[in-house]
Amino acid sequence: MQVSRAGLDKEPRDVAKMFDTVAEKYDVTNTVLSMGQDRRWRKAVVKLIDPKPGERILDLAAGTGTSSVPFAEAGATVVPCDFSIGMLEVGKEMRPELPFAAGDGMKLPFADNVFDAVTISFGLRNIHDPITGLAELRRVTKPGGRIVVCEFSTPTWRPFDVVYSNYLMRALPAVAKKVSSNPESYVYLAESIRSWPDQRGLAIRMAEAGWGKVDWHNLSAGIVALHYAEKS
Ligand SMILES: C[S@@+](CC[C@H](N)C(=O)[O-])C[C@H]1O[C@@H](n2cnc3c(N)ncnc32)[C@H](O)[C@@H]1O
């Protein structure tokens, strides 16, 4: 099943360049645009993965490493991986203790079956072919290992969905103009969220990529969903 991304099919190198340009202010812009909710979402990801000391965890599309920090704090060995050199450089400067790796989610630079768990926060939507990305994540996961995908999704209460769509398409680009170094990229963000599959749609795609026992739960009334699964 293809993910329909009408008008959003940026070439991978343009996506990488786009993130290079927002890297400096990425963390602060995120917190402003999510109205401080992003910290809560990140904590929920770590709780669901439930990292044990000594486990090896891949955080794909980790950007500056914001999504990786809570794993390191829990005692896991986390590898933040991203293909935007700009994001990696800012990340390395802010968090020199993390072992950042440059790599494309479509063709990961890791051997088969090496991670106890894999995760991706707000990145799967940006990968050119998300099903290939999910299959790559599965390839590098040990048998019995787990995945958590944290991604924007579809609000479960219809009237709220209408208000939220207005926020995405109008308010978000306007706020981004004030706080981001590249407001255009936040227009892309709003459009990419609206054209992303809903909770059930993403679960189907994860199963297509080979993941088993796929399920999800919603955060913030479905603005974000956490999908989890296992490699059997
Ligand atoms: C919105 S940021 C998320 C960063 C971080 N995970 C977080 O939660 O703050 C999305 C990231 O996905 C990365 N990305 C997009 N496509 C990628 C790919 N094919 N391989 C690796 N990283 C990718 C971008 O460079 C960007 O840093």
Q: What is the pLDDT along the chain (232 residues), one digit of tens a residue?
A: 444 444 456 788 888 988 888 888 777 777 777 778 888 999 999 999 999 888 999 999 999 999 999 999 888 999 999 999 999 999 999 999 999 999 999 999 999 999 999 999 999 999 999 999 999 999 999 999 999 999 999 999 888 888 888 888 788 878 777 777 777 777 888 888 888 999 999 999 999 999 999 999 999 999 999 999 999 9
Count of Cβ atoms closer than 10 Å to residue 43 Cβ: 11
Strand 212-219 and strand 141-152: pairing? unpaired
Cα(54) to centroid of ligand 1, in Å? 25
Distance CA(23)–CA(18), nearest Å, equals 9
Task: Supply the pLDDT for residue 9.
Answer: 65
Q: Is the CB of 66 within 6 Å of ligand 1? A: yes
Q: Is the CB of 68 within 6 Å of ligand 1? A: no
Cα(186) to centroid of ligand 1, in Å? 14
Distance CA(208)–CA(216), nearest Å, equals 16
Cα(166) to centroid of ligand 1, in Å? 25
Pocket test for ligand 1, best of 126, 140, 182 (most atoms within 8 A of CB): 126
The pTM score is 0.90
Cα(62) to centroid of ligand 1, in Å? 6
The residues near 87 (Cβ < 8 Å, ≥ 6 apart) are 19, 20, 23, 26, 63, 64
Residue of the CA atom closest to atom 6 of ligand 1: 62
Q: Is the CB of 216 within 6 Å of ligand 1? A: no
Give alpha helix (H) positions in the chain: 12-22, 26-33, 38-49, 69-73, 85-94, 130-139, 158-166, 172-179, 184-194, 199-208
- Phi first, then psi: what are they for 212, rounded to 5°? -110, 165
- Phi first, then psi: what are they for 110, rounded to 5°? -135, 155
- Phi first, then psi: what are they for 120, rounded to 5°? -150, 125
Q: With both helix axes pointing from N to C terminus, report the angle between 172-179 and 26-33 in degrees, rounded to the nearest 10.
A: 150
CA angle, residues 124, 109, 151, in degrees to nearest 5: 10
Q: Which among 150, 88, 89 has a CA at the least distance from the CA of 119?
A: 150
Residue of the CA atom closest to atom 17 of ligand 1: 127
